[in-house]
Structures are given as structure tokens and as C-alpha cells.
Structure 1
């Protein structure tokens, strides 16, 4: 674990001191789940259930904030069982899917969310032409209901294909009043109006925490990092954790702590549970 900011150790100690009022929020892919070639097989880290179950009774709440559909991440994460374990400790597991457009929790296991954005169906219908124009016709297209993701990881030169696709997809998305969310060899297209920073605000408003830890790995987590940082200026005890990778260094400069991928995230959370009296 690398304390990246000058006062990171003090920030960590401040979280421990007010742990009963701490929200621990994590991204899923690349943070709690290793990145794999097939996102449908991106199961949660095998140690995550044990670590989060041990941490939950000592903090205010656990949240998973992801770009995936909420129901999908519940299945990939085994979150029904984890939710049972956390509920038994008197705490709650919150899952925000599709950047906060969908919500599931261990106390309300229905998935609530809005209808698909206008323009998305037309965007999808036009997508094959855009892929051919970028010489990426074999990119994998993942339809998420409220969004669509174009993955280049399986292509022979994924980074080059991503670079060709991004400006074309951004232009096409803007024509349909949609936005793009670049990630690690993936471009997601979705409606505007919701992001992970707004999820942070919602959790703070609803739960009134004394402290907030957010762990993420990708560009989609920047809004959450910036929002947590803004609340830190207002006196909230905070810790920003970057699950680092060579593919995406964007969060490193914003983080208090840099760890090596999901293994490092869970090592940090295990240490946190141990340090809380």
C-alpha cells in the first residue's frame, strides 16, 4: 500500500477514529473484481465476501457503485448472500448500478431505475456503421438496457482500436443527446444527468456519515473522487483509494492511497477492519 498524499496516514487514522460513521464505497470492475477479457465473467474477488462481511458491522454502511446494471453486479458479486451476511450484522449493503440510475439494497432487493434514454435505440441501430468506419467491426457490443458499451479488449490491438473509436462514438452520442464514459478498453454511451459523484452526494444526504472512503480504478470514478474531495473541504473525514493499473493512471494523482488492483483494495479493507477497535 502506497500512501500517495502527504497526509494520507492521518486521513486513514481519522477514518478509524470515527469508524461507526464511515461509509465504505467501492467500484466493482477493477476494484472488487479483476478485469477480464469477457466482462460477463468478471466475478467478484474470492476474498471480497469475507472482507466486506467482517468490515460491515464496524462501519455505517457498505456501497458498491458501478457502471454495470445493478442486477448483473448482484449476480456476479454473489451479493444476495453478502447482503444477508451484512443485514445479519445490523448494517446495509447498497448497490448503485448504471452510474446511479439503478439501485438495489439488502433491505429492498428490487431494482429501481428509469426507462432507457431517448435516442439510445437509434444509436445502437447506427452502431455497426460506426464500428466499420473505425476498423473495429469485431468490437464486442454490450447492451445494458440504460446504456451500451463497446469493448475493444478482445481486438488484436485494443488500445489503437479504442483511440479510433472514441471520437466517432462521442460524435454519434452527441447527435442523440447521449454522453460517453471512456474506460479501460471500453467506451460506454448513456444518458446524461447521473454520475458516481451524485451517488456520493445521495449517500451523504441519506445517511449523514462522519467519514467516507471511496475506492475506484477508472475514469468513471473521477466524479466520485472529486465529490468526496469537495466534502473533505467541508470537514468530512475522507480517504480516496486508487486500485492502480498500467492501463489507466487517471486516478493516481487524485488518490490518497494507491494499491495494486483488487488484491490491494481488499488488503486495505482487511487492515481497516482489523484497526477498528
Structure 2
């Protein structure tokens, strides 16, 4: 574990949980709770993840998944039910009771995504060219360097065409994404903070990707920003965890602290 800012007091967050403060735990999925796989549909979570998150939710923490995946795509690989999910970079919200809300993109952006999907589908497999609400992801993990370079040239060429004008082209860990503006992971964080009001909960966000920087920015000083990455990189995070074992330790410490607070109360 690396502390990325000199003023970060990790133990103070856990001490507040042990003192009975409400907890809000937000987690990205791929690269944070699940190892990357060449085929995203094969990216199942670390074996210890379902039990730990279920246990943390059972003791009263608000546990929220915040992912770039579509909600149905996440449900296919992540076995934990009854958690709140913000999917498709904030466009889809699935409540613990199963209700779903969707923030649709503007019609022009939707048309542009459909057009680009049709053009890319002719050169990429369905697993490599993923259409989801408000976005089109191009996955290149596992491809040869030559194939990755060729795909990047085509993606950037399409990004410069008039039909792509309503969209943003953003990199992520393992590819690029054409995305309609108006939603990102920061939207999920801002909404959750608003819902929590003035109660001053202990909030932590765990994420690995550039797309999680939007969530870190939205959280700001109101919570603990945790980068999950084996390698240092520029980030707004407060702490860096080196992958699975350290994430497991962090979540176990969270659970233990909340249990202490319940016993103390």
C-alpha cells in the first residue's frame, strides 16, 4: 500500500467506522474486484469478493458497484445480488430491489453510436465491439501489438469523421470507448453524496481505471479515494493498493471496523 498524499490518515476512516459512523463503499469492477480477462464475459470476481461484499452490506454499509459495463453484463459475471449498481458510466442505475432507471443519451449521439457500431462490427468480433447504453467500447486486450495499432488507427480515424462529432473518444484499460456526453462515474458519486446529505458517512471509492478519475474528482475531500494498480500513475487518489491481496485486506479491515462499531453501539 502506498500513501499518495501526506495528509491521508487511513486509520482515522476505520476508527470512525468502529465508532459507529455510517459507511458507504463504492467499488469499480474490472481490475478492482475482478482480474482482467481477454474476453470481458470471462472476468469473474476474485473468489473472496462475493462473501466479503455480502458481509459488509449485511452489517449496514451501503455497498455500490460503479462500472463502465452495462448492468446486465455485470449481472452475468458478478454473483452478488441485492447491491446497488451504477452501470454504463452512470447511465444505468439498478436499485437493490431490482428497479432500474436509465439516463438516455441525446438522439444525435445515439444515432452516431449506432452508425459507428455498424462500421466497426464489420472488422471486429462482437466480443471486441461492445454496444451498451450511451457508449461503444472497442476491446483490444490480448491482441498482437500490430492488431492493436491497426485497431487504434481505425478508431481514431472514425473519431475524426463528421458522424462521430456528438461523441467523446476516451481510453480505458484495454481499449477505447466512444461515449455520449452527459454521464460518467462522477455522476454516480455526486448523486450518492447528495442522497447521503449532511450525515458525514465514511465514504470510500475503489477503482483502477482512468474512468475512475471522474469518481475521484467528484468525491474530493468527502471520502477516501483508492487507486487499485500494480504500478504508480498520475491520479487524484489518496492511496494505492497493489491488486487483489491488498484490496482483500482493505475490505476485511472495513468489515472488522463496522462490526466493532455495531458491538460498541
2:31 aligned with 1:7: no
Q: CA deviation at 1:59?
A: 4.7
Partner of 1:121: 114
2:153 counterpart residue number:
164
Q: Note if 1:213 corresponds to 2:204.
A: yes
1:222 to 213, 221, 224: 213
Q: Does 1:94 align with 2:117?
A: no
Report the CA distance shift for 1:178/1:3 in structure 2 as closer, same or farther (over 3 A).
Answer: same
Per-residue CA deviations over 1:202-239 (Å, capped at 9, x if unaligned) read 0011123523100100111111011111xx1xxx3x21
Task: Kindly report which structure 2 residues correspond to 1:1-277, keeping only aligned pairs within 5 A, or say none.
Answer: 1-8=1-8, 10-18=9-17, 20-80=21-81, 83=82, 93-107=83-97, 109-115=98-104, 117-127=110-120, 140-157=128-145, 160-161=149-150, 164-165=153-154, 167-172=156-161, 175-208=164-197, 209-210=199-200, 211-229=202-220, 232=221, 236=222, 238-246=223-231, 249-250=232-233, 253-276=235-258, 277=260
Q: What TM-score, normalized by structure 1, do the two folds share?
A: 0.80
1:132-167 CA distance string (max 9 Å, x none): xxxxx6792122243211111132116645653553
CA RMSD of aligned residues (A): 2.6
Q: What's the offset of the Cα at 1:265?
A: 1.6
**Distance apart, 1:128 and its partner CA:** 5.7
Q: Is residue 24–residue 61 contact of structure 2 (8 Å, CA) maintained in 1?
A: yes
TM-score by length of 2: 0.83
Report which structure shows greater RCO (CA 8 Å, sep ≥6).
2
In structure 2, distance between residues paired with 1:174 and 1:151? 21
- How many aligned positions are there? 249
Gaps of 5+ in 2: 261-265
Alignment CA distance shift 1:253-1:101 (3 Å): closer
Q: Which moved more, 1:93-102 or 1:48-57?
A: 48-57
5+ residue gaps, structure 1, are: 84-92, 132-136
Contact 1:149 1:188 in 2 (8 A): yes
